[in-house]
Structure 1
Amino acid sequence: MRVVVKIGTSTLTKSGKIDTEYIKGISEEVAGLVRNGKEIVIVSSGAIGFGAMKSGIKDTRGIVKRQSLAAIGQIILMKEYEKAFSVQGIDIAQILLTYDVLSNRKSYLNLKNCMEMLLKNKVVPIINENDVVSIDEIGTAFGDNDVMSALVSTKIDADLLIILSDIDGLYDDNPKKNSDARKIKVVSKIDNEIESYAGKAGSFFSVGGMKSKIRAASIVMKSGSTMAIAEGREKKVISRIIEGENPGTIFLPSEKLNARKRWILAAKPKGKISINECAIEIMKDGKSSLLPVGVVNVEGNFSQGDVVKIGSFAKGISLLSASEMRKVKGLKSKEASAALGRKVSEIVRRDDIVPC
């Protein structure tokens, strides 16, 4: 069984300090699981928060400041993990990622091969976003490690993603403010009601909140895997979830996508194609390709083979470059072929379209 465990900054700290005892406990539990044949990958936040604690900085706002703090804190974070896992006789590996690495199919395959080798040798990869170079991502919706952990899960074919947080699941209201808030134990579909339960991102050093966890769940569920949210300080919580217990909220898979579609789902779009109402209706069943006649607008500067956003409901691999697509938008296939001097029928194949 392959499991990704995401640990947030608020879970790794206590009273404004690094909680070394917690890291020791997590390392001991993970080491035991690895010895019992489980493949465990950790996605760990904490670099910016640890850097801020080391530097005595309270206000972490600002891209350059967060980059600098991440550079300081990442070393501290890995030292703590290395110290704790070495006691258990387990090796760890540091992997720093950016969204672009996951979006490029060649680098994605290189990453996957590396991960396979590490896991085969019972090494625990510890992944964090490379905040030092991720200019666009820091402090944005794509920059939190909840979404990063979901993308990693889809890329490495994980069976389960466990997000350890300072809250023990999804509630219909904020349980810290409303004592009558009801925990949602099982989610089988992300709809407007479920999304309405998510509040804004929360704690001081962290970026993620329940909104990002819902987004992560949506990615994981669509890829055909399971996700769990749980209180990170509950005893043996990782092992209990793996064994089938549900101490928090479980998000059930909706369908199993093949490897190509999982890559499309997790890839960062290089552009956007806006389509007309007729094309939207035709493509809703997932059995139709996108034709030039359905395109009304093209955004971005993408190449043939890049992943693009299709309207507000899907992603797909474009068979044309952005400049070519602008030339054929709104044209019938025969007219599009004449415009480009070669046969053009579909511009995104149905097998390369994934709802998102």
Structure 2
Amino acid sequence: MDLNFSQEEIAFRDEVRAFIDANYPAQVKGKGLREDLSKEDFLAWHKILGKKGWSAPAWPKEYGGTGWTATQRYIWLEENARAETIPPLPFGVSMVGPVIYTFGTPEQKERFLPGILKGDVWWAQGYSEPGAGSDLASLKTKAVREGDFYVVNGQKTWTTLGQHADWGFFLVRTDASAKQQEGISFLLIDMKSPGVSVRPIKLLDGGYEVNDVFLQDVKVPVDQRIYEENKGWTCAKFLLAHERAGIAGVARSKRNVEKLKSIAKAEIGDDGKPLIEDEDFQRKLAELEIDLSALEMTELRVLAREHAGKGPGPESSLLKIKGTEIQQRLTELTLEAVGNYAQPYTRELGEGNEFAVGPDYSRAASPIYFNWRKASIYGGSNEIQRNIIAKMVLGL
């Protein structure tokens, strides 16, 4: 694999860098992904990219994709990580969008894809339920067909940023007598429909990132079902493969490694030397960087397969496992680096508070550490991913 950029690729990188520098919204510079951002802040960059035609690089060109090569997409991810942009949220662009253009009817593609590309419609994911998380096929939310509608009743949980959602994509059971992974359908539901209610789940740090979604006698037109009735599990698996491939987050982990090195240079150990010179810390950092380099090679292979029209397969489970493990190790090493300043986090002592202690870079260490405990669970727990690899990759 040739990792040297051609002159054309270097010119593309310069074009991307210049566009980001000139167009990234000033109101969200330096903020990164935070649950306290407004809906407008989350979508600001997405809308700019939509106008440029760059909001969905992985999509086929006929549906609004960029037509970039795998290397160009890699450069795009690198440059966005460098600038610490807020990327288009994955629920539309990376998850339901590919399901719609792969399994949807021409009318469904025409109706839903433009809003995803432009950033005009916020999507939420209705997969997990109380008692049906990693064992997703045991979901209980049911949809009963009555003429041209389904009547949906049930509850979804851990719906990330669902409080902002305009539409949601939901897995529902349409045949209670079928085997677990059969009898499931994939529905698109307007979140403003009568009977849909969203209740926040307050997190330990006081944040509001996830929700319970209740569906009580919600009427959903049959033409909002994607693919065949009772064949929604096919869509679900396809969507999860795309989600897992995107979870790896190699470019942003590389950026966070550089931040960690800066912290380690600033922090002085018990021996009076910068932490970056401590042999034990150096070993942990080196092991992390080696694993990240190996993951980067795997991500490039997946990008190349997607560019060849093969799409992410079971190898996306590898990306998901290693990507989230690396992200968590990064937060652990950051806690270690900030030392005594890695105190239990309270919002009252957060950013800009005069009573907060420690350098600015230490303020987010604890909340990021605790929040990223979820990374090995969402998108299908890492234990489930190992089962997929054993079956689909190793043939066990």
Shorter-chain TM-score category? Answer: under 0.3
Task: Name the structure where strand makes up a greater proportion of residues.
Answer: 1
The structure with higher relative contact order (CA 8 Å, sep 6+) is 1
**TM score, norm. by length of structure 2:** 0.25
Higher helix share: 2
TM-score in terms of structure 1 length? 0.27
